[in-house]
């Protein structure tokens, strides 16, 4: 395998592990090209960034049966700091969109990926450079392709919803989860802490997959994984940018990847949430290395229909 193709696979795999374990994933049609012989990249010709790479990626997992975004995450990669930070936005958070107050998971059905990007910029102050959109139903197949994952299920889980054909029955404790059980766990919402605990479980699963699967052996499975889930992936990142980011991301280690949940407060009248703006500002400045307080929605207005 050429060094160019190997590095391209590294960034694809990093995206696979970093993004998909929170409920499924969608990369994009461009991912097909690295596996075509005519698209091999000569990494010696890839731009040397000298620590300048900073990129913000929006990750959205969509439940197409309901038109809602079941997973919303913003990922920031900073080469100078050698860090990749991922922050989940609880789906039960109230936001302002199109003149009304509504839950953030409903924005996708109203404004698509551009609407979600605009709202996420308002919440975090991060301009969205690229997006990855996926169908949450692909997660089970992905975990099976990766050979399952060892995980400590935090509590007994029993839930049946015949309308969604969703049946969750898991016992508490350390075990190897296949795709169906892993998907059940990340979709389970019956925690005393509601959506906040659900996000925490998703992030812990992310860390477990990174620790267990980020290795050379798993890299060889990328073509097979992609061929099985390519129809459920959409992304707007060009192959040339993937090469640049992939080259710089080779310096990342598991300790360089951090996960967070956007600070929120309970509304006091229901189980839903409001953003804790002050705490979010502090988190974004400290961990995501943004400059100053949240800046509002100007960064995405030019790209919205």
C-alpha closest to that of 254 among 82, 5, 23: 82
Residue 73 has pLDDT above 90, yes or no: no
Q: What is the pTM of this model?
A: 0.74
Q: pLDDT, tens digit, for every residue of 132-181?
A: 887 776 778 878 888 899 999 999 999 887 766 778 899 999 999 998 89
In the numeric block, the tokens 């998909």 are attached to 20
Q: What rounded mean pLDDT belongs to the chain?
A: 75
Question: What's the rounded mean pLDDT across residues 16-38?
Answer: 36
Over its C-alpha atoms, the chain yields an Rg (Å, rounded) of: 19
Backbone torsions φ then ψ of 245, nearest 5 degrees: -65, -35
Residue 15 sits at the vertex; the CA angle it makes with 77 and 263, to the nearest 5 degrees, is 55
d(CA 49, CA 106): 38
β-bridge mates for residue 79, sequence order: none
Residue 3 has pLDDT above 70, yes or no: no
Residue 9 has pLDDT above 70, yes or no: no
Residue 200 has pLDDT above 80, yes or no: yes
C-alpha closest to that of 208 among 16, 27, 65, 17: 17
Where residue 67 falls among pLDDT bands split at 50, 70, 90?
Answer: confident
| Cβ neighbours for 194, distance < 8 A, ≥ 6 positions apart | 92, 271
Q: Sign of the CA dihedral 274, 278, 284, 287?
A: negative
Compare 220 and 23 and report the one with higher pLDDT. 220
Residue 117 sits at the vertex; the CA angle it makes with 111 and 119, to the nearest 5 degrees, is 80
- Burial (CB < 10 A; 0-12, 13-18, 19+), residue 236, is middle
Backbone torsions φ then ψ of 178, nearest 5 degrees: -85, 180
Residue 10 has pLDDT above 60, yes or no: no
- Burial (CB < 10 A; 0-12, 13-18, 19+), residue 174, is exposed
CB atoms within 10 A of CB 34: 23
β-bridge mates for residue 166, sequence order: 161
d(CA 149, CA 257): 19
Per residue, the 3-state secondary structure of 158-192, as one string, reads EEEECCCCEEEEECCEEEEECHHHHHHHHHCCCCC
CB atoms within 10 A of CB 232: 21
DSSP state string for 136-153: GGGHHHHHHHTT-EEEEE
For residue 214 the two structure tokens come to 């980020």
């Amino acid at each position: 395998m050429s060094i160019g193709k190997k590095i391209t696979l590294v960034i694809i795999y990093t995206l696979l592990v970093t993004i998909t374990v929170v409920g499924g994933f969608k990369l994009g049609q461009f991912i097909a090209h690295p596996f075509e012989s005519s698209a091999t990249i000569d990494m010696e010709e890839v731009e040397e960034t000298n620590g300048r790479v900073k990129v913000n990626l929006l990750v959205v997992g969509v439940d197409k049966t309901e038109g809602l975004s079941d997973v919303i995450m913003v990922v920031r990669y900073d080469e100078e700091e050698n860090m990749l930070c991922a922050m989940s936005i609880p789906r039960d958070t109230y936001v302002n969109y199109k003149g009304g107050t509504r839950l953030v998971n409903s924005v996708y059905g109203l404004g698509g990926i551009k609407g979600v990007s605009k709202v996420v910029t308002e919440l975090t102050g991060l301009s969205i450079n690229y997006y990855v959109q996926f169908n949450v139903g692909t997660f089970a197949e992905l975990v099976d392709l990766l050979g399952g994952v060892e995980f400590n299920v935090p509590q007994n889980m029993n839930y049946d919803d015949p309308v969604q054909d969703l049946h969750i029955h898991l016992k508490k404790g350390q075990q190897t989860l296949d795709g169906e059980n892993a998907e059940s766990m990340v979709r389970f919402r019956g925690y005393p802490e509601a959506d906040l605990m659900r996000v925490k479980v998703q992030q812990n699963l992310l860390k477990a997959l990174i620790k267990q699967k980020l290795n050379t052996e798993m890299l060889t499975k990328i073509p097979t994984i992609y061929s099985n889930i390519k129809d459920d992936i959409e992304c707007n990142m060009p192959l040339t940018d993937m090469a640049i980011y992939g080259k710089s991301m080779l310096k990342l280690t598991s300790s360089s990847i951090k996960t967070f949940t956007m600070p929120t407060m309970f509304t006091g009248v229901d189980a839903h949430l409001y953003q804790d703006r002050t705490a979010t500002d502090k988190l974004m400045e400290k961990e995501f290395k943004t400059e100053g307080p949240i800046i509002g929605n100007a960064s995405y207005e030019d790209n919205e229909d």
